[in-house]
Structure formats: structure tokens, C-alpha cells
């Protein structure tokens, strides 16, 4: 089976996110004063061949821990869908 | 004669500067390619500055898994000396040879200018030529130089005296912006517990030649040159 996995990597809460701050200021300058708490991360999508959904998720977690995210500064979320 | 391997990754751009600085202090310095699997018996390894693998994903994240880094990991585990400069420091953190991480500068811009730093720890392979408290003016050139670490890691680094270089924290003492990237505790460089693995953001190899002004960075190289070679049969090649 093949699964499409969506990985969302975000700067860890509490870590200064200057990109998020800059975008928040830009939004305020454009009149979107109601926007707050802007944080910027990255999205990664990949296809994974695996026997089951839990297996696919477990493998992508290993990929995140080893390479896709830095455990010192980032957290990640996974969404797995059947391709 | 001391053997110094300078690792060249695709995107390294300070490799020749590091090589020349190592040669200047009388070592046998040579380049190794990222796909190589051997350091050819190096006593000291330098991971130079640049933008290895285009800084894709995170600075240093891909370089960490290159074949030569497996050899660097073994070298470090055996007590071998490793010096990471700028991108090399980022690679050492990604490879978990040093704690913490280097993330986007707080000001979001690439910073390329001289900074004033203070040498704090001098019982490392790369800072033994300096007296503690020595102030140096070194160039920085980076976009991802903000050192961050978990609170307990920062406390450990401070308690164990593992901060090698700190940006001059007083704006009165330096004409330059005190902390160019927002690093935690003004940290510009750290060492492992043994003082054999050191990573710093400034570029001492760019100020290691009197032709280019005060050679404030030369001491890092005279320090490493004082290390005892493992292979004492290697003689100075006759010119």
C-alpha cells in the first residue's frame, strides 16, 4: 500500500520566531490587527510504501526524528492518508 | 608533522581560507571530499564555512549524513580534534557532536561584518594559544547564527565552562552591535566537555594573515598546530 504523508514542522513554542513576528507586523500594517500569534514553519509531503497506516506513520516519525525536524528547536505533526 | 583535513562539501566556500591558515602554522593540510569515507589519518579535522548542500532543510542538516561525516563522527569519538567554523559549527550541532542548534538570525538578515568576541575557555585544542578574557575582532558572515538550546543545556554549558567565545556583551566596549544574531547568552562558540570538538560562528581563518590586518584569528591555528601528531613518521615534505 502507498500512503501520502503530510508533515508539518513548526518552531517549538517559546522559541523566538522572528519570521512569524515580521509577518504579524506586516498583517497589522495591512489592517489585519486581529491577527496574532503568527508562527512560520514548513510543510513536507511524501509518499510512503508501507503495509499499514500505523507502519507508515512509524516510519515517517523516524524520518522526522533523524532528518526532517530538529528535535532541539522544532516539533512536528503528521497526517497520513491512503494514496 | 600534524595532519589537518579540511572537509569540502558541495557549497563550502571557506575551505581554501581554512587550508591556507592551517598551512601557515606549519601543518600538512589537505582537502577531503564529502563523498570520501576516510580522513587519511588526520590529527585535526576542520569543517569550513559555506552553504553545504545549499542549506536545504536546515543549515548543516544534509551535510551531517554525508559519507565523510561518518568518519568525522568516529574521529571525534576516539578523541580526535574537530573544528567547525560557521557552517561547520551548524553541521556539528546537527550531527550532535555539540549541543544546541543554530537558527535564523533574530534580525532576519544575513549579517556580514566584524564583531568583538571574548575568548572564555582556553583549555581546548583550538584556543590554547589565547589567554582567558582575550578580546578578538573577527568577521561573521551568516544568516543562521542564533545559538539556541534548551534551558538545562544552556545551564550545563555555563556551569561546565564550555562557552569558548562570547560576543562582547557591552555596546560601550565595542563599536559593533554586541550580539549580531540574538544568540542565547551571547554565545558565539562552544566546546565539548573534553575541549577536542569546538564550533564557532566567527571566521578566524579570514583574519589569520597579517596582510589582511590584525591577525586576531591566527591563534586558533597556532593552538591546533601545538597538538601532538599521532603519526610521527610523517616528515615535512622538502620543497
DSSP notation for B171-222: TTT-SS-SSSS--GGGEEEEE-TTSSEEEESS-GGGG-SGGGS--TTHHHHH
Picking from B57, B61, B104, the nearest residue to A18 by CB comes out as B104
The SS3 assignment for B224 reads helix
Picking from B101, B108, B182, the nearest residue to A73 by CB comes out as B101
pLDDT at B232: 61
Residues of A in contact with B148 (CB under 8 A): 15, 72-73
CB spacing of A18 vs B101 below 8 angstroms: no
A26 contacts chain B (CB < 8 A): no
Residue ranges making up the domain that contains A61: 2-82
The SS3 assignment for A22 reads helix
CATH of domain B3-225: 3.40.50.880
Helix B218-225 / helix B15-24 crossing angle, nearest 10 deg: 60
Indicate the pTM of the whole model: 0.92
Closest CA to B137 of B109, B158, B165, B102: B165
pLDDT tens by residue, B34-63: 999 999 999 999 999 999 999 999 999 999
For chain A, the domain total comes to: 1
Q: Are A57 and A43 in contact (CB under 8 A)?
A: no
Residue A18 backbone phi and psi in degrees, to 5? -65, -30
Residues of B in contact with A72 (CB under 8 A): 93, 99-101, 148-150
Grade residue B235 by pLDDT with cuts at 50, 70 and 90: low
The answer, yes or no, to whether residue B130 has pLDDT greater than 80, is yes
- Residue B101: closest C-alpha in chain A: A72
Q: Are B176 and B115 in contact (CB under 8 A)?
A: yes
Q: Which residues of B62-77 are buried (b: 16+ CB within 10 A; e: fewer)?
A: bbbebebbebbeebbe
pLDDT at B239: 47
Averaged confidence pLDDT in chain A: 95
Query: What CATH number is given to the structural domain containing A51?
Result: 3.30.1280.10
For residues B3 and A54, give the distance between their C-alpha atoms in angstroms, rounded to a whole number: 49
Asked about B93 being catalytic, the answer comes back as no
For residues A66 and B62, give the distance between their C-alpha atoms in angstroms, rounded to a whole number: 11
The answer, yes or no, to whether residue B173 has pLDDT greater than 70, is no
Rounded to the nearest 5 degrees, what angle is found at the Cα of B86, between the Cα atoms of A20 and B60?
65
pLDDT at B70: 97
Residues of B in contact with A70 (CB under 8 A): 58, 61, 94, 101
pLDDT at B174: 67
For range A20-45, the mean pLDDT: 95
Grade residue B65 by pLDDT with cuts at 50, 70 and 90: very high
Q: Are B203 and B141 in contact (CB under 8 A)?
A: yes
Amino acid at each position: 500500500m502507498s500512503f501520502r504523508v503530510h508533515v508539518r514542522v513548526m518552531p517549538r513554542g517559546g522559541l523566538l520566531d522572528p519570521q512569524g513576528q515580521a509577518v504579524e507586523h506586516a498583517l497589522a500594517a495591512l489592517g489585519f490587527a486581529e491577527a496574532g500569534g503568527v508562527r512560520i514553519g514548513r510543510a513536507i509531503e511524501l509518499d510512503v510504501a508501507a503495509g499499514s497506516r500505523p507502519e507508515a506513520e512509524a516510519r515517517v516519525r523516524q524520518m522526522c526524528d533523524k532528518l526532517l525536524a530538529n528535535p532541539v528547536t522544532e516539533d512536528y505533526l503528521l497526517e497520513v492518508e491512503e494514496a | 608533522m600534524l595532519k589537518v583535513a579540511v572537509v569540502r562539501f558541495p557549497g563550502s566556500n571557506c575551505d581554501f581560507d581554512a587550508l591556507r591558515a592551517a598551512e601557515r602554522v606549519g601543518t600538512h593540510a589537505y582537502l577531503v571530499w564529502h563523498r570520501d569515507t576516510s580522513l587519511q589519518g588526520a590529527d585535526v579535522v576542520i569543517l569550513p564555512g559555506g552553504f553545504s548542500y545549499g542549506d536545504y532543510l536546515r543549515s548543516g542538516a544534509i551535510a551531517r549524513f554525508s559519507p565523510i561525516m561518518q568518519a568525522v563522527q568516529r574521529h571525534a569519538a576516539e578523541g580526535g580534534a574537530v573544528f567547525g567554523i560557521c557552517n561547520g559549527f551548524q553541521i556539528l550541532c546537527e550531527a550532535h557532536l555539540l549541543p544546541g542548534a543554530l537558527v535564523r538570525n533574530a534580525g532576519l538578515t544575513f549579517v556580514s561584518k566584524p564583531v568583538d568576541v571574548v575568548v572564555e575557555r582556553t583549555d581546548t585544542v583550538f584556543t590554547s594559544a589565547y589567554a582567558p578574557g582575550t578580546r578578538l575582532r573577527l568577521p561573521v558572515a551568516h544568516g543562521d547564527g542564533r545559538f539556541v538550546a534548551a534551558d538545562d543545556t544552556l545551564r550545563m554549558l555555563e556551569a561546565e565552562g564550555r562557552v569558548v567565545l562570547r560576543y562582547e556583551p557591552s555596546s560601550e566596549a565595542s563599536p559593533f552591535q554586541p550580539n549580531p544574531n540574538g544568540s542565547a547568552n551571547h554565545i558565539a562558540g562552544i566546546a565539548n566537555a573534553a575541549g577536542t570538538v569546538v564550533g564557532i560562528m566567527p571566521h578566524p581563518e579570514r583574519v589569520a594573515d597579517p596582510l589582511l590586518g590584525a591577525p586576531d584569528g591566527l591563534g586558533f591555528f597556532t593552538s591546533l598546530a601545538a597538538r601532538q601528531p599521532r603519526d610521527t613518521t610523517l616528515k615535512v615534505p622538502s620543497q
